C-alpha cells in the first residue's frame, strides 16, 4: 500500500527585522490560511542592539515587539492551531519564553512553548579566540526547531539560527526529512531565504517597478512559502493583499546578501545555481530543481562590538557671511575643547538654499559638528555645553538645534568567525522542560567556489547609446559584516547575454570608483539570469562608506543602476517609463 504524501506546508512570514510592521502577524493570520507563522527579527546589527539592552538590564536581550504581536494574536493562533516559530528570543530565548508564558496565562491560554538555545558563545569567546565582543552567536540550523515541533510545541522561540531555518525546521518536522535529504533541505532553504525578509519578496525594495505597473505597493502583503515533500515550493501571498509575487521579485531576494553560487548553512549547502523559477499564475512563483550538498564542518559565528561613542551639535547660521560665521564657530569650539579634545572632531558646512530667501529657513545655513571618542565622558553633555557657552560671544544670530545630550554608541562592528559545529551545544528545551542535545551533521564538506559557468553567446554588434544601467538591469545590495554584495539580474535572455559579457569585475571597478582597490568576486547564476558581486572590505570600520550615508550598502545597487554605460539600443525601452526618462545621448 502506497503511503499518502504529506500535503504541502503553508509557511507565512510576518517579520523581516526588529521594527518591521507590527500589524503583519495579525494580517497574516486573518487574511488567509497558514499552517506555520514565522518571524525573523535578527539582522546582524540587531544583535548589537540587544546586547546593549542586556548591558542595561540582563533580563532583556529579546525582541519585545513580539510580545505585543502575541497579545493581539494568541487567541487566533490557539483557535486555528497555527504553529509559531520565531528567532525573537535573540540573546535571551528563555527569557522571552517565560514572558510569553506569563502573557498566555493572563489571557487564559496554555500554549506549549519550546526553546532552542546553545548559540550564545560569549562565555566561550576566549576558548575560541573570538576576542572581546559584545555578542558572539553561532548560526544554528533547523533540526532543533524540528525537534521542538515533534515534541508538540505550539510556539518555538530560538536564539540565533539562520534566517531560512525558521521555514526549514517546520518542513523537516512535517515531512520527516533527515539530514540525508539534502535536495529537500536545499529547496526549503531557498524558500526560506526568499520569505525571510518579508515584503522584499512581494515587491518591496524592488528595483524594476515598471514590471509591477498596476499593482499597489502602498501596503504590500507578507510572503508565504507552500513547501512540498520534495523541497520544491511556491512563493505566494494572501489573495487581495498588496504587492506582487513575480519571478523578478523572487530573483531579487534570492540574490540578496549571498556570497556565491554555494549558499552554506548549518544543515545543507544550497546550490543557488540550480534554482529554477516558474511563474505559475498571478502571485505564484514555483522554486524547483534545487540541489543540496553536505554542509561545511564549521558554523558561522556573528560577532558584534561597539566601535566607540559619538555626539553632535548643529549650529544654525542665518543670512549674510554664513561661511565666515561657520569658521568663527569652528575656531571657538576647537579652542573650548582643547583641554578635553575628542578623538575625532569633524565639521560639515551646508550652505543655505538662498541667503536672501523669502523665508528665514531658506536663508539659514548649517554647521554640523560630530565628535567621536572611545570614552563617552569625553563627548558627553560637556561637549554640547561647550557649544552652548559660545552663545553670547560668537557670530551674529547664534542658535543651535538642540540642547546638550549624552553621548551615544557611535556604531557597531560586525565580524564573523568560524567554529567547528561539533563544539557548539545545540540544545532544545521541550515544552515539558526536558533538555535535549541536537547532534551536528555526521557528514560535512569543505566549502569551495563553484567554477564559473560557460558564458552565453554575446549579443550581435549593433548601435549603442549612453544610458543608466537600471534601464536594463535590476539590482539589490546589502551587507555582511565588512563586506557588501550586489546582486544584478536581467529580465530577458538578451539582457542576460549582455550582462554576462559586459558587467565584469573590471567594469564594476570602473563604474563604482569606491570599489577600485578592493577584492571583488563575480559569481554567475545563469538559471536566474543573474550575477552576484562580492565586494570585500567596502564596509570595513574607518572606510568612507562606513562613515557615510549608507553604512550597510542598502543603496549600493541603486547607485550602480544609476550609472551610465554604453547599452545596446535593442535592450533599451522604446518609450522609457515616465519616472525614469531616457537620458540624452552622452559620451
DSSP 185-239: HHHHHHHHHHHTTGGGGTTTT-S-GGGGTTS--SSBPPEEEEE-TTS-EEEEE-T
Q: Report the percentage of the chain scoring pLDDT > 90.
A: 85
Residue 583 clears pLDDT 90, i.e. is over it: no
In sequence order, the β-bridge partners of residue 346 are: 370
Helix (H) or strand (E) holding 29: helix 24-30
Cβ atoms of 428 and 438 closer than 8 Å: yes
480 vs 195 pLDDT, higher one: 195
Give dist(CA 230, CA 241) in Å, integer.
Answer: 28
3-state secondary structure of 147: helix
Mean pLDDT of 181-192: 98
What pLDDT does 545 receive? Answer: 63
Strand partners, 568: 464
Q: What is the pLDDT of residue 4?
A: 56
Cell readout for 341 is 579634545
Band (205; pLDDT cuts 50, 70, 90): very high
Which uninterrupted H or E stretch holds 248? helix 247-254
CA distances from 446 to 143, 242, 449, 483 (A): 21, 42, 10, 21
Say which residues have a Cβ less than 8 Å from residue 403's Cβ, sequence separation at least 6.
384, 388
Average pLDDT over residues 169-196: 98
- Give the pLDDT confidence of 91-116 residue by residue, as tens digits: 999 999 999 999 999 999 999 999 99
Count CA within 13 A, CB hemisphere, residue 201: 29
Distance CA 280, CA 245 (A): 11
Could you read off the pLDDT of 542-581 as tens digits, one per residue?
565 666 778 889 999 999 999 999 999 999 987 544 334 4
pLDDT (tens digit per residue) in 329-364? 999 999 999 988 999 999 999 999 998 989 999 999
The cell numbers describing 113, all together, are 512553548
In the three-class reduction of DSSP (H, G, I as helix; E, B as strand; rest coil), residue 345 is classed as strand
Mean pLDDT value of segment 77-90: 98
Residues 182, 294: contact at Cβ < 8 Å? yes
User: The whole model's pTM is what?
Assistant: 0.89
Q: Predicted confidence band at 1 (pLDDT cuts at 50, 70, 90)?
A: very low
- Axis-axis angle for helices 182-195, 165-175 (nearest 10): 140
Q: What distances in angstroms separate CA 172 from CA 13, 165, 228, 422, one per listed residue?
A: 17, 10, 11, 21
- What is the pLDDT at residue 546? 66
Comparing 174-183, 362-371, 538-547, which segment has the lowest mean pLDDT? 538-547
Task: Give the 3-state secondary structure of residue 476.
Answer: strand
Rounded Cα gap, residues 322 and 93, in angstroms? 54
Amino acid at each position: 500500500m502506497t503511503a499518502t504524501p504529506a500535503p504541502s506546508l503553508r509557511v507565512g512570514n510576518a517579520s523581516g527585522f526588529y521594527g518591521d510592521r507590527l500589524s503583519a502577524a495579525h494580517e497574516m493570520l486573518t487574511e488567509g490560511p497558514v499552517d506555520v507563522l514565522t518571524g525573523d527579527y535578527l539582522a546582524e546589527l540587531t544583535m548589537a542592539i540587544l546586547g546593549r539592552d542586556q548591558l542595561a538590564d540582563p533580563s532583556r536581550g529579546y525582541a519585545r515587539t513580539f510580545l505585543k504581536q502575541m497579545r493581539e494574536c494568541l487567541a487566533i493562533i490557539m483557535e486555528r492551531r497555527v504553529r509559531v516559530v520565531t528567532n525573537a528570543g535573540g540573546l535571551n530565548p528563555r527569557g522571552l519564553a517565560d514572558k510569553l508564558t506569563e502573557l498566555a496565562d493572563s489571557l487564559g491560554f496554555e500554549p506549549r512553548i519550546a526553546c532552542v538555545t546553545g548559540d550564545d558563545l560569549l562565555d566561550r569567546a576566549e576558548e575560541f579566540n573570538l576576542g572581546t565582543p559584545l555578542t558572539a552567536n553561532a548560526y544554528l540550523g533547523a533540526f532543533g526547531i524540528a525537534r521542538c515541533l515533534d515534541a508538540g510545541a505550539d510556539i518555538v522561540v530560538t536564539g540565533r539560527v539562520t534566517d531560512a531555518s525558521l521555514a526549514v525546521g517546520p518542513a523537516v518536522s512535517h515531512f520527516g526529512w533527515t539530514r540525508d535529504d539534502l535536495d529537500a533541505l536545499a529547496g526549503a532553504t531557498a524558500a526560506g531565504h526568499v520569505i525571510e525578509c518579508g515584503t522584499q519578496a512581494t515587491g518591496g525594495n524592488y528595483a524594476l517597478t515598471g514590471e509591477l505597473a498596476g499593482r499597489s505597493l502602498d501596503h504590500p502583503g507578507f510572503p508565504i512559502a507552500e513547501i512540498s515533500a520534495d523541497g520544491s515550493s511556491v512563493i505566494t501571498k494572501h489573495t487581495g493583499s498588496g504587492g506582487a509575487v513575480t519571478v523578478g521579485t523572487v530573483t531579487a531576494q534570492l540574490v540578496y546578501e549571498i556570497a556565491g553560487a554555494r549558499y552554506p548553512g548549518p544543515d545543507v549547502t544550497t546550490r543557488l545555481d540550480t534554482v529554477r523559477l516558474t511563474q505559475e499564475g498571478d502571485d505564484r512563483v514555483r522554486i524547483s530543481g534545487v540541489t543540496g550538498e553536505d554542509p561545511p564542518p564549521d558554523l558561522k559565528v556573528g560577532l558584534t562590538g561597539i566601535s566607540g561613542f559619538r555626539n553632535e551639535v548643529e549650529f544654525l547660521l542665518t543670512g549674510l557671511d554664513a561661511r565666515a560665521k561657520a569658521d568663527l564657530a569652528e575656531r571657538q569650539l576647537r579652542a573650548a575643547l582643547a583641554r578635553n579634545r575628542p578623538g575625532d572632531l569633524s565639521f560639515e558646512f551646508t550652505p543655505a538654499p538662498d541667503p536672501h530667501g523669502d523665508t528665514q529657513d531658506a536663508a539659514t545655513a548649517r554647521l554640523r559638528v560630530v565628535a567621536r571618542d572611545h570614552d563617552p565622558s569625553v563627548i558627553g553633555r560637556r561637549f554640547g555645553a561647550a557649544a552652548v557657552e559660545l552663545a553670547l560671544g560668537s557670530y551674529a544670530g547664534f542658535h543651535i538645534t538642540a540642547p546638550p545630550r549624552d553621548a551615544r554608541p557611535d556604531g557597531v562592528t560586525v565580524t564573523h568567525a568560524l567554529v567547528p559545529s561539533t563544539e557548539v551545544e545545540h540544545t532544545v528545551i521541550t515544552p515539558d522542560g526536558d533538555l535535549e542535545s541536537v547532534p551536528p551533521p555526521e557528514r560535512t564538506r569543505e566549502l569551495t567556489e563553484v567554477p564559473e559557468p560557460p558564458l552565453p553567446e554575446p549579443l550581435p554588434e549593433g548601435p549603442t547609446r549612453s544610458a543608466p544601467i537600471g534601464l536594463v538591469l535590476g539590482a539589490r545590495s546589502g551587507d555582511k559584516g565588512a563586506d557588501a554584495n550586489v546582486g544584478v539580474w536581467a529580465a530577458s535572455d538578451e539582457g542576460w547575454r549582455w550582462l554576462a559579457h559586459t558587467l565584469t569585475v573590471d567594469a564594476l571597478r570602473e563604474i563604482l570608483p569606491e570599489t577600485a582597490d578592493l577584492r571583488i568576486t563575480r559569481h554567475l547564476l545563469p538559471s536566474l539570469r543573474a550575477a552576484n558581486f562580492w565586494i570585500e572590505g567596502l564596509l570595513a570600520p574607518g572606510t568612507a562608506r562606513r562613515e557615510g550615508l549608507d553604512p550597510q550598502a542598502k543603496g549600493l545597487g541603486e547607485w550602480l543602476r544609476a550609472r551610465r554605460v554604453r547599452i545596446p539600443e535593442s535592450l533599451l525601452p522604446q518609450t522609457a517609463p515616465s519616472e525614469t526618462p531616457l537620458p540624452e545621448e552622452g559620451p
